[in-house]
């Protein structure tokens, strides 16, 4: 373990985001500047040029060549360290990690952590770019195909069914109905999910999260500085933040099970250790986990040790993860309802956690939460990020 961790040394002093969805009339600049200014207002930042020391932005597309100017230029905040972070679906949470670490290191006082993605400009039929990178001939499955490999194997190993994964969509849509910022605010029935057109068997259309546009921003600082800003009384503390990167081609790894994601398990263990959590299924009040596909959420809650191996489907069916359940998961509606603007998602989850812990959730509110956990999983189960936030002590 590092000599000095991040626990309780970084505070979230303000958050901002906007409605996720198909933002045809807005570009990435519109989305990012609105999210950032919402965060400024929330934090009580009056003069960004004076007060903000550095910024990070998580973006996955397009792949390279855009640099930190893709944040500096959009918000017109020049002459400061600005860095673009790209780490698959954990890009936004990695931007947050960088900002939080800079604060903890004492090299900056107030930092911006943002994420944005403008997917719909590339057309809505799947993530762009799969043709553009990677090896010339080694197969690279689409995102639904990757996660279907896990679903097929999980069905085989745990005996799960289309109904079992379908219940993830039903629960998350039931939650998302209440969230004004969600892309989709429509309940779906189990029958709807099962009868939806097949995308990558066994995952049908309603097992997949949507392509959406969105942005989110957080302002982080030290607890001391947070004391003199708008959320002096209810700023949120970073308890742990961890990222673990595994292979991008798990299909070449003979020991890879496809029923558990090593990246999540390792990131979670690092985060629990830092936060001093020994019983995550009891100590974590609620979680926003990466439900890019319904199967992903079932495996996530096992990898995060909320459910015992093989028991996620049963726990879900018994209501454990419902909004009113023992440990609400994706009470916002998750990626299923917000869609998945890649770089924005991790940052959006942290905005949700912050607002829940402050008791001002925009959608359904968790009752008296103590600790919230956010989790991203990107690539071919390659990159996992886990962040745990708690209330001001």
Partner 1 sequence: MVEIGIVRYGAYMPKYLLERKKIAEAWDFPSIPGGISVSNNDEDSITMAIEAGLDCLGDLNPSSVNGLFFASTTPPYTEKQCATVIANALDLRNDIISMDITDSTRGSSIAIARAYETIKSGNANLILVIAADTQKPMPESMFEYQYGDGAAAVLVGNSDVVLSIMGYSSTADNVIGPWKRSSDDYIRQFEVKHEALYGYNRNMLAAFNALFEKLKVDPGTIRKAALYATDPRAAAAIGKEIGFKSNAIEGSPFLEFGNTGNAFSLMILMLAIKRAKTDDLVAFGNYGDGADAFLLKVLDKNALLNLRKLSHGIVGYKNTMIPLKSYSSYLAKKKLLNTERYTRKASPVRTWRDEKFIYRLYGMRCKNCGTVQYPIFRGCIECGAKDNLEEVKMRRVGKIFTFTLDHLVGGVYYDTPVPRCVIDLEEGGRIFCDMTDVENPEQEVHIGMDVELTFRWVHPGANFHNYYWKCKPVRFSKNIEEDEE
Residues of this chain that interact with partner 1 (CB under 8 A) are 123, 125-126, 130-139, 141-142, 144-145, 148-153, 156, 197-203, 247, 249, 251-256, 258
Cα separation, 192 vs 214, in Å, equals: 26
Instruction: Pick the closer one to partner 1 by CB: 148 or 387.
Output: 148
Residues 90 and 375 sit within 8 Å (Cβ to Cβ): no
What are the phi and psi torsion angles at 316 (to 5°)? -65, -45
Instruction: Pick the closer one to partner 1 by CB: 249 or 281.
Output: 249
Question: How many CB atoms within 10 Å of residue 131?
Answer: 7
From the candidates 173, 178, 340, 375, give the one annotated as an active-site residue: 340
Residues 40 and 219 sit within 8 Å (Cβ to Cβ): yes
Instruction: Pick the closer one to partner 1 by CB: 143 or 350.
Output: 143
State the DSSP code for 257: -
Map residue 369 onto helix, strand or coil: coil
What are the phi and psi torsion angles at 219 (to 5°)? -115, 125
Instruction: Pick the closer one to partner 1 by CB: 69 or 198.
Output: 198
Minimum distance between the CB of residue 119 and partner 1, rounded to whole angstroms? 13
Minimum distance between the CB of residue 134 and partner 1, rounded to whole angstroms? 8
Minimum distance between the CB of residue 205 and partner 1, rounded to whole angstroms? 10
Instruction: Pick the closer one to partner 1 by CB: 199 or 287.
Output: 199
Beta bridge partners, 390, equal 237, 371
Beta bridge partners, 387, equal 241, 374
From the candidates 89, 209, 292, 337, give the one annotated as an active-site residue: 89
Minimum distance between the CB of residue 257 and partner 1, rounded to whole angstroms? 9
CA distances in angstroms from 354 to 24, 276, 358, 376, listed in the order given: 28, 20, 6, 16
Clarify whether 179 is annotated catalytic. Answer: no
Minimum distance between the CB of residue 3 and partner 1, rounded to whole angstroms? 25
Burial class (CB in 10 A: 0-12, 13-18, 19+), 3: exposed
Strand-pair category, 286-288 with 371-378: parallel
Instruction: Pick the closer one to partner 1 by CB: 61 or 258.
Output: 258
C-alpha closest to that of 153 among 257, 301, 264, 253: 257
Instruction: Pick the closer one to partner 1 by CB: 250 or 378.
Output: 250
Minimum distance between the CB of residue 25 and partner 1, rounded to whole angstroms? 24
CA distances in angstroms from 330 to 2, 51, 96, 352, listed in the order given: 31, 33, 20, 10
Clarify whether 89 is annotated catalytic. Answer: yes
Minimum distance between the CB of residue 262 and partner 1, rounded to whole angstroms? 12
The side-by-side arrangement of strands in the sheet containing 82-85 is: 82-85, 54-58, 111-118, 213-221, 11-17, 236-245, 383-391, 371-378, 286-288
Active site residues: 89, 340
């Amino acid at each position: 373990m590092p000599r000095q961790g991040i626990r309780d040394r970084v505070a979230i002093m303000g958050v901002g985001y906007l409605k996720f969805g198909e933002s045809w009339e807005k570009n990435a600049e519109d989305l990012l500047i609105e999210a950032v200014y919402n965060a400024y207002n929330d934090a009580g930042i009056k003069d960004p040029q004076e007060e903000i020391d550095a910024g990070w932005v998580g973006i996955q597309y397009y792949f390279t060549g855009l640099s930190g100017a893709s944040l500096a230029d959009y918000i017109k905040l020049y002459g400061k360290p600005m860095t673009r972070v790209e780490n698959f679906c954990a890009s936004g949470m990695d931007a947050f990690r960088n900002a939080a670490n800079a604060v903890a290191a004492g090299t900056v006082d107030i930092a911006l952590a943002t994420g944005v993605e403008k997917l719909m400009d590339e057309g809505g039929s799947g993530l762009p770019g799969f043709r553009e990178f990677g090896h010339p001939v080694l197969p690279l499955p689409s995102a639904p195909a990757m996660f279907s490999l896990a679903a097929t194997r999980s069905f085989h190993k745990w005996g799960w069914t289309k109904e079992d994964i379908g219940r993830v969509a039903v629960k998350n849509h039931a939650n998302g109905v209440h969230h004004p910022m969600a892309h989709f605010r429509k309940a779906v029935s189990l029958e709807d999910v099962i009868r939806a057109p097949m995308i990558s068997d066994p995952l049908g259309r309603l097992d997949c999260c949507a392509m959406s546009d969105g942005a989110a921003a957080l302002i982080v600082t030290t607890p001391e500085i947070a004391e003199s800003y708008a959320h002096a009384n209810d700023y949120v503390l970073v308890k742990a933040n961890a990222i673990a990167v595994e292979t991008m081609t798990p299909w070449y790894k003979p020991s890879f099970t496809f029923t558990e994601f090593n990246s999540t398990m390792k990131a979670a263990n690092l985060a629990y250790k830092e936060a001093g959590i020994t019983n995550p299924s009891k100590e974590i009040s609620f979680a926003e986990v990466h439900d890019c596909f319904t199967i992903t959420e079932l495996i996530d809650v096992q990898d995060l040790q909320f459910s015992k191996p093989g028991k996620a489907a049963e726990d879900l069916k018994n209501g454990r993860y419902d909004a009113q359940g023992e440990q609400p998961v994706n009470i916002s509606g998750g990626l299923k309802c917000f869609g998945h603007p890649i770089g924005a998602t991790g940052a959006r989850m942290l905005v949700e956690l912050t607002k829940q812990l402050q008791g001002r959730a925009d959608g359904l509110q968790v009752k008296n939460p103590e600790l919230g956990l956010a989790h991203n999983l990107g690539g071919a189960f390659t990159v996992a990020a886990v962040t745990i936030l708690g209330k001001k002590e």
